[in-house]
Structure 1
Amino acid sequence: MADPSPLTSEEFRRLAEFLYRRTGMVFSEAKRYFVERRIAERMSATSCRSFTDYFAQLRNDERREVEELINAFTINETYFYREDYQLACLTTDLLAARLAAKRGRDAIRIWSAPCSTGEEPYSIAIWLLENWKEVDDYDIEIVGSDIDTDVLEAAAEGIFRKRALMKLSPDLVARYFHPLGDERWQILDDLRQSVRFSRVNLVDTRQTRLQGAFDVIFCRNVLIYFDDESRRIAAENLYENLLPGGFVCLGHTESMSRISPLFEVCRYSGAIVYRKPMELRA
């Protein structure tokens, strides 16, 4: 089949609006080449001869193709121990603050959203095992969520290439992964089973609520792809998914102070994080 014609301005607008409503991500004319390349791949995969035919297929709510389209447009740049100063802050400051606010031995819940192919939630698990002496004293639940179903499947499989492991020492790789050959390693089964994965759209309130309440949320390097309204909705959803006194960690270029007034800014020696205020006491 011949390559599809470039999108007209109206077709580009309709597609960008469709993606925005379902993901919160904004695609401007500046990203036209990226958009047209991805849409051409999906049109070829579905044997659609024109954008009109393809868009009609999407509008008819063919759920699997909507998922495939969203998967094609998500960006999954990640690796183990990325921005590890926040992992250090987790074990030196955040967990201590959360335990002080808890009663007894309540479970500790940590959410990685978006989690991409699993490097972040698995990094959290490894970091806790390596750097938190109380790790065996508590029931710790780590949840990884993403809107991209393909990366969630890859995350559950837990197979990684050399680049993903570049910040881990050879000793850590030897202890927590087993080699598969062809410069691929699979994370140990015990760690794979310690993380639960789920599909979540951060601007979908119903989907986020289903995940329950967390002590700490890592939501890094995704809000930069949203517009102001989508950021506000995502921030409100994160707020509702935090326990009182819980923390959210953003990427180093992101600031919750510019998005929502709901959170308190907490400046620790290693990181700036954002806290849901404790409930007022009578």
Structure 2
Amino acid sequence: MMAATDLRKTVQPQISLEDFLKFREYFYRRTGIFFEDSKRYFVDKRLLERMQRSGADCFRDYFMQLRIDLSGEEMQQLVNLMTVNETYFLREEYQFRCMVRSILPDIISRRQPGERIRIWSMPSSTGEEPYSIAIYLLEYWPDIEHYEVELVASDIDTAVLRQARQGVFSRRSLQYLPIDLLARYFTPCGNDYRLNAELRESVQFTRVNLHEPADTRDYRDFDLIFCRNLLIYFDDLSRRQAAETFFDALNPGGYICLGHSESMSRISSLFQVRKFPEAIVYQKPIEG
């Protein structure tokens, strides 16, 4: 007969509804990301994975470990597992066209040649968006020779940031990149492709939790922000807080681009709607 202690070891830990709700509230308070009930299977599966790796026998033990971990490493591991990073080069390209044809020409109309233009990509995921911005600027913005461009890319997920810095991408990530641009900026790397060193070094990657004021306090003086398909994971309160963070990060007259299914008008009244031929974007009012 199997001993009781051996029997207990064969029983897999489970996540109850109470556990799910408790974790959902905790994760929301820490990140601003809210998991709908429909995401429970996704959340439970990843929680059980971390419980197994940490050696916790039940959710209660794991949750206690999570809260007393002063290093924050376990929370970061959870964030890396819980965030979805689906992206590819030139995604929603119409906004990049808007950047070079309408947004940047408006910005430099109030600048002198040689001045700095700052662009922030948040979330950066594995780097496809910020590197797409860099390529688009080089290829399609003739005034790039007259201005200093600083491109900052941030994400809450440290694993995707490491991958982004390496600059190695699959054929799937590059499927919409024209062949001539692929040949110009990438070299084969096994079954993948690696971005050239000059472009990799042109983007500064940083870890940022948009829900944590200490993380975003120093992010200021940007002229253009890309924040696409992130706010759909937030609730109304977190969206408003994010809008205020981006408002503070922008220079007067600066712009923010959201995902095609997102609307700043339904989130905050801080920004003005700008309808350009290529896209609808949102502008911080120009003072004076």
Give the TM interval when normalised to the shorter protein: over 0.9
Corresponding residue for residue 217 of structure 1: 225
Secondary structure at the residue paired with 1:206? helix
In the alignment, is residue 234 of structure 1 matched against residue 239 of structure 2? no
- Is the 1:242–1:276 contact (alpha carbons within 8 Å) kept by the matching residues of 2? yes
Corresponding residue for residue 283 of structure 2: 275
- Is the 2:125–2:157 contact (alpha carbons within 8 Å) kept by the matching residues of 1? yes
Superposed displacement of residue 3, structure 1: 6.8
Which one of the candidate residues 147, 172, 182 is aligned to 1:163?
172
Paired with 1:209 and 1:249, the residues of 2 have a C-alpha distance of 21
- Alpha carbons of structure 1 residues 2 and 76: separation in structure 2 relative to 1, 3 Å: farther
Corresponding residue for residue 154 of structure 2: 145
Which TM-score applies when normalising by structure 1? 0.96
- Is the 1:221–1:251 contact (alpha carbons within 8 Å) kept by the matching residues of 2? yes
Which one of the candidate residues 113, 127, 133 is aligned to 2:142?
133
- Alpha carbons of structure 1 residues 185 and 59: separation in structure 2 relative to 1, 3 Å: same
- Is the 2:14–2:59 contact (alpha carbons within 8 Å) kept by the matching residues of 1? no
Paired with 1:103 and 1:261, the residues of 2 have a C-alpha distance of 30
- Alpha carbons of structure 1 residues 2 and 254: separation in structure 2 relative to 1, 3 Å: farther
Aligned residue pairs, count: 279
Superposed displacement of residue 270, structure 1: 0.8
In the alignment, is residue 76 of structure 1 matched against residue 85 of structure 2? yes
- Alpha carbons of structure 1 residues 262 and 2: separation in structure 2 relative to 1, 3 Å: farther
Amino acid at match of 1:93: S
What whole-Å deviation, never above 9, does each CA across 1:19-66 have from its counterpart, x for those lacking one? 101111111222110011111111111121111111111110341111
RMSD over aligned Cα, in angstroms? Answer: 1.2
Corresponding residue for residue 4 of structure 2: none
Amino acid at match of 1:174: A
Superposed displacement of residue 103, structure 1: 4.1
Superposed displacement of residue 133, structure 1: 1.1
Corresponding residue for residue 25 of structure 1: 33
Corresponding residue for residue 190 of structure 1: 198
Amino acid at match of 1:33: Y
Q: Which structure 1 residue ranges, 4+ long, deviate > 4 Å from structure 2?
A: none
Which one of the candidate residues 125, 128, 149 is aligned to 1:119?
128
- Alpha carbons of structure 1 residues 2 and 19: separation in structure 2 relative to 1, 3 Å: farther
Paired with 2:45 and 2:15, the residues of 1 have a C-alpha distance of 10
In the alignment, is residue 266 of structure 1 matched against residue 280 of structure 2? no
What whole-Å deviation, never above 9, does each CA across 1:219-277 have from its counterpart, x for those lacking one? 00000000000000000000000000000000000000000000000000110000000
- Is the 1:80–1:123 contact (alpha carbons within 8 Å) kept by the matching residues of 2? yes
Structure 1 runs not aligned, ≥5 long: none
- Is the 1:4–1:40 contact (alpha carbons within 8 Å) kept by the matching residues of 2? no
What whole-Å deviation, never above 9, does each CA across 1:194-243 have from its counterpart, x for those lacking one? 00000111122221222222000000000000000000000000000000
- Is the 2:152–2:205 contact (alpha carbons within 8 Å) kept by the matching residues of 1? yes
Corresponding residue for residue 109 of structure 2: 100
Aligned pairs for 1:46-85 (under 5 A) are: 46-61=54-69, 62-85=71-94
Structure 2 runs not aligned, ≥5 long: 1-8
Aligned pairs for 1:38-49 (under 5 A) are: 38-49=46-57
Amino acid at match of 2:98: C
Corresponding residue for residue 96 of structure 2: 87
Corresponding residue for residue 6 of structure 2: none
- Is the 1:209–1:240 contact (alpha carbons within 8 Å) kept by the matching residues of 2? no
Paired with 1:151 and 1:185, the residues of 2 have a C-alpha distance of 17
Bigger radius of gyration, 1 or 2?
Answer: 2
Paired with 1:171 and 1:71, the residues of 2 have a C-alpha distance of 34
- Is the 2:13–2:57 contact (alpha carbons within 8 Å) kept by the matching residues of 1? no
Superposed displacement of residue 2, structure 1: 5.0
